[in-house]
Amino acid sequence: MNEQDKVVSTQRIAALAQLGRAMGALGSGAAWPGHVCGLDELEYGELDGLIRRAHVRNGWFTEGNVRHAFGAWSKALTSQGLTEWIATYEGLGAVLGEQRTVGLILAGNIPLVGFHDLLCVWLSGHRAKVKLSSQDSELIPALIKALDEFLPGTAAAISFEQGKLGEIDAIIATGSNNTARYFEHYFGHLPRIVRKSRNSVAVLDGTETDEELIALGEDVLRYFGMGCRSVSKLFVPEDFDLDRFFQAVFGWKDMIQHNKYANNYDYTRALWMLDAVDFLENGFLLVKEDTALASPVATVFYERYSDAALVDGTLAARSLDLQCIVGHKGIPFGQAQYPALSDYADGVDTLQFLGQLT
């Protein structure tokens, strides 16, 4: 990395760390903490207002979940974390002669789900043309506006497109399995990362403490279970008492007061009853024995096992369908919704891909 790139990287790390401090205060719901957050009271209030109103545009974006997303990002955006993350990428910076225009098609299933891709493009020194999801069209632009306050010129490298992306040199697109086929066809001539639907699972070995099972509730039910890092399937020993899981997640009982979640709960419950499906319920979560990985909203599947090696083999065979594996041999309970900066979606190194664009 030459001296110019070192200066650029240092500036961008400092700006992102400042953004992380502001997001931490906003995530906690704190009043304006003063200029230490990098924003004046009006700017801070505007962001706080967006968080409070996010549910108006997207009913799934409750204030609590949006603040959680801000808080999770604040834990990642630290000077030390950012420096260690990009240290292994040779030449990362803004070399004007190597700039490319990268199109981004972002998902909107959970708050800020596409923010990592956008930061990767910006840190790599490329320009970004962003197609936001209609489900999350305000939060990310507001954060880029704040980032531009910390490092003027940032916003000039990022455009948010209302229509087609237009001319681009590469694409990072996230969608369902169906839209992924369209992306592959439409952008097949470009360097690309195309992400499909993935799911996360938890593997219990029976030695879990009550505290760990309570933490598992965060992995299952945060964001109403709608993220690719949300646990939708439990692998449990043959003799595991599911009542322990029900008791552990009882703190999430008020989720059933959310209209959209309750509608999903009622619909699936009625459907399973009509089909004479065996399932368990506790008034806000449906639990069904099933070999599938993906479960509907307001439900979680489980599968009993007698041989842990067989579970390992099953997961290895389904690796392309998996985002996270939570458990004693994987991500710690309660941490699935706190990805590190180096936890790339689908396991594809986004910064490496961007660094190879010429």
Inform me whether the pLDDT recorded for 91 exceeds 80: no
Inform me whether the pLDDT recorded for 159 exceeds 90: yes
> Model's pTM, two decimal places?
0.94
Report the distance separating Cα 309 and Cα 3, nearest Å. Answer: 51
Lowest mean pLDDT among 104-108, 111-115, 139-143, 345-349: 345-349
Mean of the pLDDT values across residues 128-156?
96
Inform me whether the pLDDT recorded for 269 exceeds 90: yes
For residue 352, is it within any domain? no
pLDDT mean across residues, the chain: 94
Region of 340 (left: φ > 0; alpha: ψ -120 to 50; beta: rest) is beta
Lowest mean pLDDT among 77-81, 174-178, 322-326, 332-336: 174-178
Inform me whether the pLDDT recorded for 1 exceeds 70: no
- C-alpha of 116 from chain center: 8
Both 233 and 171 in a single domain?
no
For residue 310, is it within any domain? yes
Inform me whether the pLDDT recorded for 221 exceeds 90: yes
Both 166 and 215 in a single domain?
no
Res 149: pLDDT: 95
Res 96: pLDDT: 45
Both 59 and 179 in a single domain?
yes
Both 185 and 205 in a single domain?
no
Both 35 and 137 in a single domain?
yes
Dihedral of CA atoms 36, 42, 46, 49 in degrees, nearest 10, equals: 90
Q: End of a domain among 197, 218, 251?
A: 197
For residue 41, is it within any domain? yes
Confidence of residue 9 (pLDDT cuts 50, 70, 90): confident
For residue 336, is it within any domain? no
Both 180 and 87 in a single domain?
yes
Inform me whether the pLDDT recorded for 323 exceeds 70: yes
Mean of the pLDDT values across residues 236-248?
96
Inform me whether the pLDDT recorded for 8 exceeds 80: no
Inform me whether the pLDDT recorded for 92 exceeds 80: no
Both 260 and 233 in a single domain?
yes
Tally of domains within the chain? 2
Report the distance separating Cα 66 and Cα 83, nearest Å. Answer: 26
Tell me the H-state helices in 165-241.
177-186, 210-221
Res 7: pLDDT: 62
Nearest CA to 338 out of 44, 30, 75, 96 is that of 75
Give the rounded percent of residues in the chain with a pLDDT score beyond 70.
Answer: 96
Both 170 and 205 in a single domain?
no
Q: End of a domain among 197, 229, 244?
A: 197
Res 10: pLDDT: 87
Q: End of a domain among 135, 170, 197?
A: 197
Both 168 and 193 in a single domain?
yes
For residue 332, is it within any domain? no
Confidence of residue 127 (pLDDT cuts 50, 70, 90): very high
Mean of the pLDDT values across residues 18-25?
97
For residue 165, is it within any domain? yes
Lowest mean pLDDT among 98-107, 222-231, 236-245, 289-298: 98-107
pLDDT in tens, 169-181: 999 999 888 888 8
pLDDT in tens, 53-79: 999 999 999 999 999 999 999 999 999
Both 221 and 164 in a single domain?
no
For residue 345, is it within any domain? no
Confidence of residue 90 (pLDDT cuts 50, 70, 90): confident
Both 75 and 184 in a single domain?
yes
Confidence of residue 145 (pLDDT cuts 50, 70, 90): very high
Nearest CA to 279 out of 246, 252, 324 is that of 246
Specify burial of residue 276 (Cβ count, 10 A radius: 0-12, 13-18, 19+).
Answer: exposed
CATH number at residue 28: 3.40.605.10
Mean of the pLDDT values across residues 289-297?
97
Report the distance separating Cα 227 and Cα 250, nearest Å. Answer: 21
How many CB atoms are located within 10 Å of the residue 49 CB?
A: 11
Both 164 and 30 in a single domain?
yes
For residue 356, is it within any domain? no
CATH number at residue 296: 3.40.309.10
Q: Is residue 172 classed as helix, strand or coil in its secondary structure? A: strand
Question: Residue 125: which domain range?
Answer: 3-197
